[in-house]
């Protein structure tokens, strides 16, 4: 910048002018700088808030998908603070209360909404009928299972199923040194198709599809229901431990090792299945002899893992590391082998 000095030496206005001008410039510069900084901070704060919001939504979806209700509830409540009128979020919260067996809270929440929605009505109605059923059956709330019914199973069968499941649950907690954070969702149903005699293809009886679905008719057949409960409960534990889709041979292999019902069975006739077949869901397999083969090889492969290290806590660490390491890398790290080598060892 330049300053015009005046000829008048005594008052030296030129110098004053000049420093005034300098000050003005400096002030302007500082103001501009501050505005810039402020703008930048606003931008980055907005970006940070946006990123946080996106991360929260991503995590919420994951928790909902994996039925991790504690985490889902915390997140949905946080999102509702941002947008309290979001009906979709309100619907999720009602569903989460329901899934956590908090039926009274669910009903009260639905009643206090100021919009109508068929799904909300359904949740309320279902909560009311579950409260009634539990009262009618004189059931205590189970420690680790959230129970629903299909059909009209007998109280005696329900009580026995729950007692056996609790014992199995404790054993699995102990074996894997793992305590699931959420209650397991159990559907007890009366099955007309299940006769409870003879060897069964597994998917006809009980299944785990996020919920444990158990036909209570089996309660007359101890030799069947014990392995069946242990088997499906193992799947539920694998899910709770990993929140990840582990390869099917790992999942079915460990479930069979724990249920013990097929241990020592003869190798099925014909050649070994390939790795791809052992990795995709078995229930898609319509051909019974192929399915039997897939189950047999799965168990044999997991048995080979446990020969290398018998600890199920080690096994738990292995399946938990799959999410970050990848399936094959985790297998190498924990057991020093590839799935192909394992299959070669048992074929
Ligand atoms: Zn299974």
Within 13 Å and on the Cβ side, how many CA atoms surround 343?
18
Per-residue pLDDT band for 14 (boundaries 50, 70, 90) equals low
**Cα 123 to ligand 1 centroid, rounded to whole Å:** 30
**Cα 338 to ligand 1 centroid, rounded to whole Å:** 22
Instruction: Work out the average pLDDT over 220-240.
Output: 89
**Cα 235 to ligand 1 centroid, rounded to whole Å:** 7
**Cα 105 to ligand 1 centroid, rounded to whole Å:** 35
**Cα 21 to ligand 1 centroid, rounded to whole Å:** 83
Task: Report the pLDDT value the prediction gives residue 120, as an integer from 0 to 100.
Answer: 95
Q: Which residue has the tokens 């279902």?
A: 126
62 vs 39: CA distance, rounded Å: 34
Instruction: Work out the average pLDDT over 38-42.
Output: 89
Task: Report the pLDDT value the prediction gives residue 16, as an integer from 0 to 100.
Answer: 58
As a dihedral over the C-alpha atoms of residue 275, residue 286, residue 208, residue 89, rounded to 10 degrees, the angle is 90
Closest CA to 262 of 309, 295, 233: 295
**Cα 205 to ligand 1 centroid, rounded to whole Å:** 11
Instruction: Work out the average pLDDT over 195-202.
Output: 42
**Cα 77 to ligand 1 centroid, rounded to whole Å:** 35
Q: Is the pLDDT of residue 7 over 80?
A: no
Closest CA to 260 of 301, 307, 228, 212: 228
**Cα 12 to ligand 1 centroid, rounded to whole Å:** 97
Q: How far is CA 70 from CA 74, 100, 209, 301, in A?
A: 6, 8, 20, 35
Per-residue pLDDT band for 310 (boundaries 50, 70, 90) equals very high
237 within 8 A of 179, measured Cβ to Cβ? no
183 within 8 A of 101, measured Cβ to Cβ? yes
Output the pTM of the full model. 0.76
Task: Report the pLDDT value the prediction gives residue 325, as an integer from 0 to 100.
Answer: 96
Per-residue pLDDT band for 192 (boundaries 50, 70, 90) equals low
Q: Which residue has the tokens 């229901």?
A: 225
248 vs 163: CA distance, rounded Å: 29
Q: Which residues are bridge partners to 149 per DSSP?
A: 188
Tens of pLDDT, residue by residue over 249-276, are 999 999 999 999 888 888 998 889 999 9
**Cα 202 to ligand 1 centroid, rounded to whole Å:** 7
Instruction: Work out the average pLDDT over 296-305.
Output: 96
Task: Report the pLDDT value the prediction gives residue 201, as an integer from 0 to 100.
Answer: 43
Q: For 53-136, which CATH class?
A: mainly alpha
Q: Which residues are bridge partners to 122 per DSSP?
A: none
Sheet (strand 207-208) strand order: 145-150, 184-189, 212-215, 207-208
Per-residue pLDDT band for 13 (boundaries 50, 70, 90) equals low
288 vs 284: CA distance, rounded Å: 11
Q: How far is CA 324 from CA 75, 243, 313, 329, in A?
A: 23, 12, 18, 9
Q: Is the pLDDT of residue 196 over 80?
A: no
**Cα 255 to ligand 1 centroid, rounded to whole Å:** 6
Task: Report the pLDDT value the prediction gives residue 8, as an integer from 0 to 100.
Answer: 47
**Cα 232 to ligand 1 centroid, rounded to whole Å:** 6
Of 79-88, 219-228, 322-331, the range with the lowest mean pLDDT is: 219-228
Tens of pLDDT, residue by residue over 131-160, are 998 888 888 888 899 888 888 888 888 888
**Cα 64 to ligand 1 centroid, rounded to whole Å:** 23
Q: Is the pLDDT of residue 316 over 60?
A: yes
**Cα 60 to ligand 1 centroid, rounded to whole Å:** 28
Cβ contacts of 10 within 8 Å, gap of 6 or more: none
Question: Could you say which DSSP state residue 257 is in?
Answer: H
Task: Report the pLDDT value the prediction gives residue 193, as an integer from 0 to 100.
Answer: 54
Instruction: Work out the average pLDDT over 108-117.
Output: 95
Q: Which residues are bridge partners to 187 per DSSP?
A: 148, 213
175 vs 254: CA distance, rounded Å: 12
Of 2-11, 35-44, 163-172, 208-217, the range with the lowest mean pLDDT is: 2-11
Q: Is the pLDDT of residue 199 over 50?
A: no
Per-residue pLDDT band for 75 (boundaries 50, 70, 90) equals very high
Q: Is the pLDDT of residue 209 over 80?
A: yes
Q: Is the pLDDT of residue 299 over 90?
A: yes
Q: Where are the domains of the chain?
A: 53-136, 141-233, 244-347
Task: Report the pLDDT value the prediction gives residue 203, as an integer from 0 to 100.
Answer: 37
Phi, psi angles (nearest 5°) of residue 144: -120, 0
Would strands 145-150 and 207-208 be described as parallel, antiparallel, or unpaired?
unpaired
Of 51-55, 312-316, 341-345, the range with the lowest mean pLDDT is: 51-55
Closest CA to 282 of 252, 250, 245: 252
């Amino acid at each position: 910048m330049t300053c015009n000095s005046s000829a008048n030496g005594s008052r030296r206005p030129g110098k004053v002018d000049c420093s005034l001008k300098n000050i003005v410039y400096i002030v302007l510069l500082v103001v501009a700088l501050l505005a810039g900084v402020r703008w930048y901070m606003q931008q980055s704060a907005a970006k940070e808030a946006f990123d946080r919001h996106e991360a929260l939504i991503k995590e919420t979806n994951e928790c909902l998908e994996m039925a991790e209700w504690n985490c889902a509830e915390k997140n949905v409540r946080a999102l509702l603070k941002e947008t309290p009128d979001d009906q979709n979020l309100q619907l999720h919260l009602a569903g989460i209360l329901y899934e956590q067996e908090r039926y009274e809270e669910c009903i009260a929440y639905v009643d206090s909404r100021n919009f109508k929605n068929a799904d909300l009505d359904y949740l309320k109605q279902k909560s009311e009928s579950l409260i009634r059923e539990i009262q009618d059956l004189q059931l205590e709330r189970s420690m680790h299972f959230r129970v629903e019914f299909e059909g009209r199973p007998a109280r005696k069968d329900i009580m026995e199923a729950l007692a056996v499941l609790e014992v199995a649950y404790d054993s699995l907690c102990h074996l894997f040194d793992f305590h699931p954070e959420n209650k397991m969702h159990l559907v007890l149903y009366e099955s007309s198709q299940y006769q409870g005699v003879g060897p069964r293809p597994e998917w006809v009886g009980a299944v785990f599809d996020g919920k444990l679905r158990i036909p209570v008719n089996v309660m007359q057949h101890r030799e069947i229901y014990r392995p069946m409960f242990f088997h499906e409960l193992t799947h539920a534990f694998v899910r709770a431990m990993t929140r990840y889709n582990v390869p099917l041979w790992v999942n079915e292999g460990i479930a069979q090792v724990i249920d013990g019902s097929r241990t020592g069975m003869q190798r099925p006739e014909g050649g070994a299945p390939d790795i791809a077949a052992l990795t995709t869901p078995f229930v898609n397999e319509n051909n019974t002899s192929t399915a039997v083969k897939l189950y047999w090889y799965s168990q044999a492969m997991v048995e080979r893992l446990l020969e290398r290290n018998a600890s199920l806590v080690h096994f738990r660490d292995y399946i938990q590391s799959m999410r970050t390491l990848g399936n094959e890398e985790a297998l190498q790290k924990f057991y020093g082998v590839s799935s192909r080598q394992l299959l070669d060892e048992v074929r």
